[in-house]
């Protein structure tokens, strides 16, 4: 072909070579088929935020299988393991997982195997965070799926008892991870994430529901392993002047399960009227600032975990001409096993606090709707960690050994002179519940107090 023939061939999408012309012709045929086929489904999407049209077909010779075939244009960037949203005529949305791509020699379109998800799986990962993903429990008829994975005797690892198999997008799931499905407990005994990159195939064996730590209603197992983040801030509200970068002097400590953690966080504001965000570049690095710009009380800030943005904590500041306040919190565990002891210290932002003591408060529980707070006006109130409509009422108790031996006492507090730390010792009488540890200290001839709620938990 001469130059003009090549030029007109290409602008007419024909191609220079026979192979190129055949491929381009196939692409145009697929585009026409996509526009006119009765099997075309509009407005499909995957959860990564990609929207597209596709053709969905079934296998006529294997109608019993749940495998279907999705065909899309070459420029649709789908990946194995994507969860696809298919909106039906009645407005409901089905979730389908893309499990394999068929290789096309001519490459005129992309063809995938898809299978419909039937459960939203939830689990606690190794870092203590709640994860969830749509997945498919594999039935005994799905040999076409099983053919992609390594199995022996129909199991990745043979088990003599009840078992299940699960197909889902690849996540870093450890062995012995627990799931709850339809009020049944399942434990991961083996997995295969190498046969088909992008998805993971799990072999599960039946487990036993833990009535204490399994949340059957919400299908979450091992809730005791879930990381509990708390924001420790000074009792005295932090005060900033106008024109100050809050991020340089804001005092708070983020704890994970009672221990300060180094999880990266970012500070956001919900009050743009009082605080504005600014971006500054230093040595090719982006530095964020939160600048106070107007006086106000109870200005809300949000502390958000960078890697887990769903986890947030709130605090309030005042914007006034002067800044004052002490940053202090009780450093120690949030839970103590029966008969065990934990050490607690006062962690303060100033060094002048030397004379302080810990006291323990007995607690009773009241329902907010059934009791009048005025009846307990001389006591301390604490939000109940597990029941939003209930309060813990702190009553200062004698921490002597005699009272500790009584069944009504959950714990006692004492000072360890050898280590120079305060100890809270849980009872060994199988009494569970909550106590409140208070720290009383003096600074500049003014008395301060801070508190920490501690749960007495079983040995196992």
Q: Which residues contact 370 (CB under 8 A, 6 or more apart)?
A: none
Q: What are phi and psi of 161, to 5 degrees?
A: -105, -165
Nearest to 452 by CA among 347, 332, 312: 332
Q: CA-CA distances (angstroms) from residue 177 to 38, 195, 206, 218, 222?
A: 44, 21, 12, 17, 9
DSSP state, residue 375: G
CATH code where residue 41 lies? 2.40.10
**For every one of its 460 residues, what pLDDT tens digit does the chain have, with 9 covering 90 and above?**
455 555 555 555 566 677 777 777 778 888 888 888 888 999 999 988 899 999 998 865 554 457 889 999 988 999 999 999 999 888 899 999 999 998 876 778 899 999 999 899 999 998 888 899 999 987 543 555 565 665 555 555 554 567 788 999 999 998 989 999 888 889 999 999 888 899 999 998 888 888 888 889 889 999 888 888 877 777 677 888 888 888 888 888 888 887 888 888 888 887 777 888 888 777 777 788 888 888 787 888 888 888 888 788 788 888 876 545 566 778 888 889 999 999 988 877 666 676 788 888 777 776 655 555 545 555 666 666 666 666 677 766 654 444 444 556 788 888 888 877 889 999 888 888 888 888 888 777 777 777 888 888 998 7
Residue 243 corresponds to which tokens in the numbers above?
């024109």
CATH code where residue 447 lies? 2.60.40
Q: CA-CA distances (angstroms) from residue 46 to 41, 95, 412?
A: 14, 9, 55
Q: CA-CA distances (angstroms) from residue 51 to 45, 406, 434?
A: 4, 66, 51
Same domain, 373 and 298: no
Cβ–Cβ < 8 Å for 179, 164: no
What local confidence, expressed as pLDDT, does residue 447 receive?
74
Same domain, 238 and 315: yes
Same domain, 335 and 434: yes
> What percentage of the chain reaches a pLDDT higher than 90?
19
The SS3 of residue 56 is strand
Same domain, 284 and 342: no
Strands (E), 306-367: 312-319, 328-331, 335-337, 341-348, 356-367
What local confidence, expressed as pLDDT, does residue 400 receive?
42
Same domain, 344 and 449: yes
Same domain, 185 and 64: no
What local confidence, expressed as pLDDT, does residue 378 receive?
55
Same domain, 354 and 377: yes
Strands 446-457 and 335-337: parallel
Task: Note the pLDDT tens digit of each residue in 139-196.
Answer: 543 555 565 665 555 555 554 567 788 999 999 998 989 999 888 889 999 999 888 8
Question: Which residue range(s) make up the domain with 291?
Answer: 229-319
Strands (E), 418-458: 421-426, 433-443, 446-457
- Partnered with residue 318 across adjacent β-strands are 239
d(CA 411, CA 428): 9
- Partnered with residue 87 across adjacent β-strands are 93
- Partnered with residue 83 across adjacent β-strands are 97
* Long-range residue pairs from 25-33, CB within 8 A, at least 24 positions apart, any chain: 26/106, 26/108, 26/109, 27/74, 27/108, 27/109, 29/108, 30/71, 30/73, 30/108, 30/109, 31/73
Residue at a domain's end among 225, 242, 259? 225
Cβ–Cβ < 8 Å for 238, 267: no
Same domain, 310 and 335: no
Same domain, 399 and 426: yes
Torsion of CA 159, 161, 166, 172, to 10 degrees: -60
Residue at a domain's end among 285, 302, 319? 319
The SS3 of residue 52 is strand
Total tally of structural domains belonging to the chain: 4
Same domain, 149 and 29: no
Cβ–Cβ < 8 Å for 411, 390: no
Same domain, 310 and 334: no
Q: Which residues contact 225 (CB under 8 A, 6 or more apart)?
A: 124, 128, 213
What local confidence, expressed as pLDDT, does residue 433 receive?
85
DSSP state, residue 152: B
What local confidence, expressed as pLDDT, does residue 361 receive?
78
Same domain, 68 and 89: yes
d(CA 89, CA 43): 12
Q: Name the H helices within 90-180.
A: 143-146
Residue at a domain's end among 299, 319, 339? 319
């Amino acid at each position: 072909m001469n130059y003009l023939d090549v030029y007109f061939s290409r602008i007419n999408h024909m191609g220079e070579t026979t192979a190129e012309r055949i491929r381009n012709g196939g692409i145009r045929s697929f585009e026409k088929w996509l526009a006119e086929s009765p099997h075309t489904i509009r407005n499909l999407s995957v959860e990564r935020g990609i929207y597209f049209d596709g053709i969905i077909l079934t296998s006529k010779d294997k109608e019993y299988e749940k495998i279907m075939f999705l065909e899309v244009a070459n420029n649709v960037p789908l990946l194995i393991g994507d969860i696809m949203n298919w909106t039906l005529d009645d407005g409901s949305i089905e979730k389908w997982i893309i499990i394999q791509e068929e290789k096309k020699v001519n490459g005129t379109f992309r063809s995938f195997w898809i299978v419909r998800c039937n459960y939203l799986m939830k689990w606690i990962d190794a870092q203590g965070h709640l994860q969830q993903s749509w997945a498919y429990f594999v039935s005994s008829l799905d040999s076409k799926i099983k053919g992609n994975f390594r199995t022996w005797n129909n199991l990745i690892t043979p088990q003599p008892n009840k078992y299940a198999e699960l197909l889902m997008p690849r996540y870093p799931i450890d062995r012995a991870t627990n799931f709850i499905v339809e009020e049944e407990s399942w434990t991961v005994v083996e997995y295969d994430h190498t046969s088909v990159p992008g998805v993971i195939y799990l072999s599960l064996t039946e487990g036993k529901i833990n009535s204490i730590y399994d949340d059957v209603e919400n299908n979450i197992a091992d809730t005791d392993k879930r990381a509990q983040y708390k924001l420790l801030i000074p009792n005295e509200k932090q005060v900033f002047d106008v024109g100050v970068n809050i991020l340089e002097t804001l005092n708070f400590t983020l704890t994970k399960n009672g221990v300060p953690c180094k999880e990266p966080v970012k500070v956001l504001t919900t009050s743009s009227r009082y605080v504005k965000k600014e971006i500054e570049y230093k040595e090719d690095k982006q530095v964020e600032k939160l600048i106070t710009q107007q006086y106000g009380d109870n200005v809300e800030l949000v502390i958000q975990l960078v890697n887990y943005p769903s986890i947030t904590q709130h605090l309030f500041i005042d914007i006034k001409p002067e800044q004052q306040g002490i940053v202090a919190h009780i450093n120690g565990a949030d839970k103590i096993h029966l008969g065990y002891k934990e050490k607690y210290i006062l962690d303060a932002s100033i060094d002048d606090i030397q004379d302080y003591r810990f006291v323990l408060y007995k607690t009773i529980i009241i329902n907010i709707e059934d009791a009048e707070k005025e009846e307990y006006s001389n006591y301390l109130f604490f939000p109940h960690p597990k029941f939003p409509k209930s309060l813990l009422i702190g009553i200062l108790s004698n921490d002597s050994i005699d009272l500790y031996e009584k069944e009504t006492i959950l714990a006692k507090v004492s000072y360890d002179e050898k280590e120079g730390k305060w100890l809270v010792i849980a009872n060994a009488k199988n009494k569970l519940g909550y106590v409140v540890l208070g720290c009383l200290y003096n600074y500049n001839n003014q008395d301060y107090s801070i508190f920490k709620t501690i749960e007495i938990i079983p040995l196992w």
